[in-house]
Every structure is written in C-alpha cells, then in structure tokens.
Structure 1
Amino acid sequence: MDTLNLSSKKRETYQVRLKYSPLWESALGIAAITNTPLLNTLEKPMSYWSSIKESISMNLLEHLEYVEKNNTWKALLQILHTKDFTDIEDLTNYIEQANSEDLRFICLPFVGRKFEDIRRQAIQENKTAIKELKKITSDNPFFPDYIQFICSVEINELKNHLIFVMQSWFEEVVKPNAKELTQILHNDYQAKKKMLTKMTAEEFVAWATGGVSYVPEPSVHYVLLIPQYIYRPWNIEADLDGTKVFYYPVSNESIYPNDKYMPDNFLVAKVKALGDEVRLKIVKLLFEQDRSLHDITDQLELGKSTVHHHLKQLRAAKIVEIKNSKYSLKLNSIDSLSKEIDSYLNK
C-alpha cells in the first residue's frame, strides 16, 4: 500500500566528533601486532613487524602473547574512551586507581542500552548474566571468550598487565617517533575538521573512512572519528553508549604535508577506478538501479569474469557495495568526489 507522507519532520542524523592522540595509536599498535592472521594485509610490511619483535624487551613480548591470547587490546581501547588522557602516566594512574567493578564494566564491550543490566550483573560473576552476554555477542569472533576472561580474571593481574603492556609499548615503540607521529595525526585531524564544514555528516563519514556508509541508528547520536596510522588501510569499528566509533586510516596528505601535490589515497583509488570505460558504464548502470552480476553482464555483453574483475576494483575504491545479493552504487562516494578534488586542488 502506498503511503502519503504529510510529516514535516526531517530524518534525524548524527553529529560527528573528532579526536586524536598517540595513545590510541599505541593501543591499536598492540592490537595490530597481536592479530597475526591480519598482519600481512596491513600497509606496513611484515619486515616492519618482525623488526619490532626483534627490538622489544622479552617482558613486552610475553605480555603481547597474553594480549593475543585474551584480546586485552580491546580493554585498552575501552579504557581510552573514559576520558581525554593527557599522557601515558595519566592513563596508567587511572588504571591503577580504578576499582575492580568499574574497571571490569569499562572493559566489557557495549552491546546496547537494553543489555546494560546484564553487563552490570556479569561483572558480579553472575554465571547466568555472563552466559547471556556471551550469547548476545556470539556472532563476534572473540567477544564471548573475551567476556569470560574479563569477568573472571584476577583484577590485579589485569591491571598490572594493562599498565605494563601499554607503558612498555609506548616507551619502546611509539615514543622514539612520537613527535612525527603526533604531527601526522594532528595534520589529519585539522584536514578533517576543515572538510567537516563542507559536507553532511553521512557524506563526511563516508569520505573520511574511505567509503563506509554509516546511516543513522535510533540510539546513536554521535560518530567519533579517530585517525590512526598503524592499521592502514583498515577502518576499525566500535560501539559505545550513544556513539559509533571509527578508527580510520590517515590520508597520504597528512603523512606528507609539505608535498602539496600529494593526493589523498582514497581520492587516487576512486579516480583510478573510474578511469575506465567499462567501469564508468557499470557506475551508470548501478546509478539507475541495483543489479546482479548476471544483469550487468547481459547489459554490457561481457564475460562474467571480466565484469567481476571491474566490480572488484570499484568495490576496492568504495564506489560499489553489495546489498541483498546485488551490486549497489554508493552515492555518497560519488557525490563527495567533486569536493575531494576541490580540496586537493586548493590545498
């Protein structure tokens, strides 16, 4: 049945917030080096990660093994969201002084307001609540085991581990290049802050993250964007109460600020993807409507393997995505292209 819309109310959207700190980079570095299956997909080569493992202390290596076993990098990220820490000492003092229940609660992942009572009960070692929280998060590859760990680990063991691994990683890995790293993060923060005034919230999030289409959710009022260098080219997504978080990869321009001719890596990917006759035809076909692979091959009269190759490149550039088993054009990605080029030409 058709609906006659007489409402004057516009669809609500979220507000975008930006933050940066080398402390986020530290926690994400710990997450990266302990995510062994993902290491070879990161921008930094395997030789970089091998050299870190060869240069750091044995004690830190042992704690990284503990991180890999228990995913305590998640606890570090959760804690970093509690306040704006001024430095590593501020963070470690906070962990040391936190009481047992508060620290466990902070470390547990947020899974929705309606489950906050279960989250509270879980830290009391309520077996039914822990079981329920694990069930709620069962589609996540590590949350259930992580929840069990946080609810049962001896609190001083957890505190000592978190303090040592974060402090040691910062001192041994981040601090030697902290000035350069902080400048890169600051450059990206400033560039994003400037562009935020020129785009809608949804358009901006898609641009900053290289194509993440995040539509407003009823319980999410803010999107927090945190630039990171160590996990390029990946975006990392997290949930807080009322906030969606994206730790997004910094741009090429932020890494090479003195080269005014250095284009943004996402812009390069888009332009390369669009610089082909077949791919432009596909874009126009998908602008008209979502289509299956079969539909596209019929329209273009090309082989499936050829069309699939072009679609793969368009997807890599975050111009095309798959929705309900069909290929769909990401309109935000196309709409923001002129603003991205304008920003590049006038920087």
Structure 2
Amino acid sequence: MDLLTTGIKRNREKYTVEIKSSLLWEAALGIAAITNKDLISTLDLSEKDQGWIDQSLTKDMKDQLEYVQANNTWKTLLQILHEKDFEDLSSFSEYVKKLSSQELKGIAVPFLGTKAKALKNKLLNGSEEALKELQYITKDHVFLPTYLEFIYKVPTEKLKAHLIAVMSGWFKAIIEPNKGKLETILLRDKTLKEKMLNNFEPDQFVEWATDGVQYPPEPSVYKVLLIPHYIYRPWNVEADLEGVKVFYYAVANESITGEGRFVPNKLLVQKYKALGDETRLKILKITKESKVTLQALTTELELGKTTVHHHLKILKSARLISQNSNEYNIVDGAIENLPLELKHYLES
C-alpha cells in the first residue's frame, strides 16, 4: 500500500500499537482526500461515487473545500481530533468554539521534533523570526512552510468558523447518508486488526495492517496509532504527534465486502500464488542475497527481460519484493509474516 508522509523523519526504539476509529476521523480524512487534487484520480472511488459527492455538496461547502485546498486546514482538523475522543460532531464543534487563540494555534501547529518545541512556543507568542526558522526546518516538506504561515496569520475566529463549517458540512452531506455502511466497515476492520495484534511484533503488525509500510522502532516514539479509513483508499497517510507515530491506513478489502470467514485475504492469496513458481522463488533467493537490477536478473536466470519483468511485477504486486530506482530487493518482513498471516486465516 502506498504511503503519504505528512510527518518528519526522526532517529530509531520499541513501541506499542493502538487502533482507533470513528466517523469523525473518516470525515476529516475524506476532506483531506477530496481536496488533494494531485491524488484524487488515484483514489479507489468510482466515477459514480465522485459524481455523487460533487452533487451532494452545496455551493458554500464547495467554497469551504477550496479554502481547505488552499490552506491545508484538513491538517488542523486531524490535529484537533487527536486532542480527545469526541463522541459526535456536536462535541467536536463545541470543543473548537471554546478554544482560545493560543490553544487553537498550539494544536494546529504539528509536532516538528523536540528541538523545534521552543520555536513553536515563540511562534505562538507572535514571533515572526520563529516562523521563518520553522519554515526553514520544514523547507523540504510539501506543505508545512505555507501551512505554518497560514496558522500564524489567520484570525482565530475565522479559522474556528471554517473548521466547524467544513466538518459539519461534510459530515451531514457525505457521512450521514452512509453512516451505517461506514461504521460497519471501520468497526469490522478495527476488530480484524485487534484480533491479530498480539500475534506479531509491533513493527511486523504495522507492516501487515498497513499492507506494506515498514516502520522500525525509533527512540522518541513510544506508540504507533493506527486509524482506519475508507475514502482515502488505497493510500496510507503518515503523521507525527509528540511520542506517537500515526498511520491513517486504508481498510482491507474484506472489511468492505464483509465476506465470510472462509474467504481469505486477497493479498494473502496473491502472496502464495506468487510463491508457486520456480522462477519467482529463484528471484526471491537472488534478491535476498543482494539488491539486483533487471539486467542482472535476466543474466543470472538466462531468461528474456520481458519474462523476468513479468515475474517481478507479480512479486511486487504481492509485496514480496520492492523496487528502488532500478534495483530490486526482497521484503524480508513480508516473508517473515506469511506463516502468521496464514495461521490467523486458518484459526480465525
């Protein structure tokens, strides 16, 4: 599964895993997905679904979404949702209304690392110099420099009104008509993941739950928070809180279809199909020993490039090998997790 990074890189330790889900998370992530114009065509939403969403939104709501797109306020929505477990939309709105300017902007500015905490405090006290320093620290990030400037400058009441309006508008137009379906999908996926939680090491579990995201432990992170979503499929979205790594991950296919317990996970089937071929097993053994190019594989296997490329495509689809530039390498975690995944399927 592909990964969108909205956090920053930090150094590496052992962590625990927690899974949360709610329709409010789904709403905020839906707003994030639909306003990401570069990725909207890659979403698992059909043209019919996208058309329905467009027709369901009022002119005012579309204006609010344009504001989200321009200023990345979906990030603010997600930051607020991490503050507490809100019972419903009204409790979210009431919470936002009661926040002071300092509190709201303090929540909106994400965790940027321990060294940046002092700069964040200065920013919240109105330091333009701190803003510039934080923008420099985040200069390679796709949206954080402009987002930080927006939060620094935006009037608090204007931001509050927007956050409440866009969350309420999306929830009422898109979430409520599908409430039963979405609740079932999210709960089904959360339950499925929780059943497997104790069968893996934490980093193995994260890789399995997110369909391929490798996240080794790091010293400053004590917990990984997993939050399932439906509308942003097939993407996983990454974020940072202080001491916590967050993955908003795409729900599994079986959580959507609700297929019976005798139906195996589609990726599990793909993996075993990929293994059922002599040439592909040879490729796995070669890539286990070292990273290798397509040309090197064709030479070693004495096969044509088209044939080898076909086998590589199957192994990549099964998440058994990865590609970096023109080199291929085995995904060790995927191989190690296979017996556990099979055991879970047979015993669940």
TM-score, normalised by the number of residues in structure 1? 0.91
CA distance in 2, matches of 1:202, 1:301: 37
How far off is 1:332 after superposition?
A: 1.2
Matched with 1:89 is 90
- Pairing of 1:242-321 with structure 2 (within 5 A): 242-304=243-305, 306-321=307-322
How far off is 1:140 after superposition?
A: 1.4
Matched with 1:162 is 163
The answer to whether structure 1 residue 100 and structure 2 residue 101 are counterparts is yes
- Pairing of 1:138-177 with structure 2 (within 5 A): 138-177=139-178
For residue 86 of structure 1, give the secondary structure of its aligned residue in structure 2. coil
Contact 1:40 1:46 in 2 (8 A): no
For residue 236 of structure 1, give the secondary structure of its aligned residue in structure 2. strand
Contact 2:13 2:222 in 1 (8 A): no
Q: Percent identity?
A: 47
- Pairing of 1:333-344 with structure 2 (within 5 A): 333-344=334-345
> 1:138-176, CA deviations, whole angstroms, 9 ceiling, x for partnerless residues?
111111111111111111110000000001111111012
How far off is 1:338 after superposition?
A: 1.9
| Cα distance change on mapping 1:78 and 1:268 into 2, 3 Å | farther
- Pairing of 1:1-347 with structure 2 (within 5 A): 12-304=13-305, 306-322=307-323, 326-347=327-348
Contact 1:39 1:46 in 2 (8 A): no
CA distance in 2, matches of 1:255, 1:82: 28
> 1:309-328, CA deviations, whole angstroms, 9 ceiling, x for partnerless residues?
54344334322224697422
| Cα distance change on mapping 1:308 and 1:218 into 2, 3 Å | farther
The worse-fitting range, judged by mean Cα deviation, of 66-75 and 178-187 is: 178-187
For residue 36 of structure 1, give the secondary structure of its aligned residue in structure 2. coil
For residue 39 of structure 2, give the secondary structure of its aligned residue in structure 1. helix
The code of the aligned residue for 2:334 comes to: S
CA distance in 1, matches of 2:86, 2:334: 34
How far off is 1:30 after superposition?
A: 0.4
For residue 263 of structure 1, give the secondary structure of its aligned residue in structure 2. coil
Q: Determine which structure has greater relative contact order: mean sequence separation of CA pairs < 8 Å that are 6+ residues apart, divided by chain length.
A: 2
For residue 38 of structure 2, give the secondary structure of its aligned residue in structure 1. helix
Contact 1:225 1:246 in 2 (8 A): yes
* Count of aligned pairs: 337
TM-score, normalised by the number of residues in structure 2? 0.91
| Cα distance change on mapping 1:77 and 1:301 into 2, 3 Å | same
Contact 1:224 1:244 in 2 (8 A): yes
The code of the aligned residue for 1:339 comes to: L
How far off is 1:259 after superposition?
A: 2.3
What runs of 5+ residues in structure 1 fail to find an aligned partner?
A: 1-10
The worse-fitting range, judged by mean Cα deviation, of 292-301 and 142-151 is: 292-301
What runs of 5+ residues in structure 2 fail to find an aligned partner?
A: 1-11
Structure 1 residue runs of 4+, over 6 Å off?
none
CA distance in 2, matches of 1:180, 1:169: 16
Contact 1:95 1:163 in 2 (8 A): yes
Contact 2:28 2:167 in 1 (8 A): yes
> 1:44-69, CA deviations, whole angstroms, 9 ceiling, x for partnerless residues?
12331122111221111110111111
CA distance in 2, matches of 1:61, 1:24: 20
The worse-fitting range, judged by mean Cα deviation, of 332-341 and 76-85 is: 332-341
| Cα distance change on mapping 1:46 and 1:341 into 2, 3 Å | same
